[in-house]
């Protein structure tokens, strides 16, 4: 006895028309209803591959890699300056899932720039921050704050080198006051010096050298005294 295999019904014409509109591969400029435009590669009707997006309202531009509709890979983000009507870099580097992730350079303005590692849109890892006032921090970051080991060089020549936590000096560190020619070496808690030693350092270069005289210590074991004082804060 022979059997006749039933044929599959043809999909409705509406489904065929919808499948024909799905974008895959390279497309010339595609405009959204809000006026944004994208030129580049697609996959499964999502931006995927290399492409350029221009936002109508702000004039901002992203040029780089995409993965299923989000910035992912290497790309550059530009903004349009309203006064000069010219484009300036805002971020150049790596992205993941639509956020800055990996290594990249971010321009806050003409003089404030961060260059280093990012994680989920925040400065995390190792990086260098050039502040607008001329200060420069180089070291470790976490959740957009100085965290770990790093050095902050102030515009006037003073500096701090040591441990940080949540953007504040925490732990062991050295702080040099270039105005007074003094060096503090000790322990910090939430940005405040708690116990350590203070001595003259490069005093001949200081514009306003300290006139204080330091009495000679008569301690049997000064290191032990400092360790005991430090342990009180650590505990």
- pLDDT score of 102: 98
**Does 72 lie in the same domain as 60?**
yes
**Does 201 lie in the same domain as 90?**
no
Query: pLDDT tens-digit profile of 140-169?
Result: 999 999 999 999 999 999 999 999 999 999
**Does 198 lie in the same domain as 169?**
yes
CA atoms within 13 A on the CB side of 144: 5
Average pLDDT score over the chain = 85
SS3 114: strand
Where in 81-130 does DSSP place strands (E)? Answer: 87-96, 99-107, 113-119, 122-130
Query: pLDDT tens-digit profile of 213-224?
Result: 555 655 455 565
Number of structural domains the chain divides into = 2
Query: pLDDT tens-digit profile of 192-209?
Result: 999 898 888 877 677 777
Closest CA to 90 of 104, 73, 72, 71: 104
**Does 89 lie in the same domain as 60?**
yes
DSSP H or E segment with residue 76:
strand 70-80
pLDDT for 14 beyond 50: no
**Is 201 inside any structural domain?**
yes
- pLDDT score of 90: 97
pLDDT for 115 beyond 50: yes
Taking the model in full, what pTM does it have? Answer: 0.80
**Is 5 inside any structural domain?**
no
pLDDT for 225 beyond 90: no
- pLDDT score of 83: 82
* CATH number where 186 lies: 2.20.110.10
Closest CA to 44 of 73, 68, 79: 68
**Does 44 lie in the same domain as 137?**
no
Closest CA to 125 of 133, 134, 116: 116
Is residue 174 packed enough to be buried (19+ CB in 10 Å), middle (13-18) or exposed (0-12)?
Answer: middle
pLDDT higher at 18 or 26: 26
**Does 163 lie in the same domain as 95?**
no
d(CA 86, CA 148) in angstroms, rounded, equals: 38
* CATH number where 84 lies: 2.20.110
**Does 155 lie in the same domain as 100?**
no
**Owning domain of residue 59:** 22-107
**Is 15 inside any structural domain?**
no
Contact 174, 201 (CB under 8 A): no
Average pLDDT over residues 59-84: 95
**Is 6 inside any structural domain?**
no
The torsion angle over the Cα atoms of residues 197, 198, 204 and 209, rounded to 10 degrees, is 180
| Percent with pLDDT over 70 in the chain | 78
- pLDDT score of 27: 74
Among 16-20, 90-94, 179-183, top mean pLDDT goes to: 90-94
**Is 88 inside any structural domain?**
yes
Residue 9 DSSP symbol = P
- pLDDT score of 111: 93
| Percent with pLDDT over 90 in the chain | 64
pLDDT for 98 beyond 50: yes
């Amino acid at each position: 006895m022979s059997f006749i295999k039933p044929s599959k019904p043809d999909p409705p014409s509406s489904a065929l028309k919808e499948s024909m509109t799905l974008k895959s591969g390279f497309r010339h400029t595609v405009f959204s209803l809000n006026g944004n435009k994208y030129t580049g590669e697609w996959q499964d009707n999502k931006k995927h591959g290399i492409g350029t997006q221009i936002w109508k309202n702000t004039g901002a531009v992203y040029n780089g890699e995409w993965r299923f509709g989000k910035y992912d890979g290497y790309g550059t983000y530009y903004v349009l300056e309203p006064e000069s009507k010219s484009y300036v870099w805002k971020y150049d580097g790596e992205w993941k899932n639509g956020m800055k992730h990996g290594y990249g350079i971010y321009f806050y303005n003409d003089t404030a720039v961060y260059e280093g590692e990012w994680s989920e849109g925040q400065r995390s890892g190792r990086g260098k921050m050039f502040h607008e006032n001329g200060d420069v921090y180089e070291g470790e970051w976490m959740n957009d704050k100085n965290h770990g080991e790093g050095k902050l060089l102030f515009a006037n020549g003073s500096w701090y080198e040591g441990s940080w936590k949540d953007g504040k000096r925490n732990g062991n560190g050295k702080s040099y006051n270039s105005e007074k020619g003094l060096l503090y070496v000790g322990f910090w808690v939430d940005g405040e010096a708690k116990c350590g030693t203070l001595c003259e350092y490069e005093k001949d270069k200081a514009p306003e050298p300290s006139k204080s005289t330091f009495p000679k210590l008569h301690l049997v074991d000064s290191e032990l005294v400092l360790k005991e004082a430090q342990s009180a804060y650590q505990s």
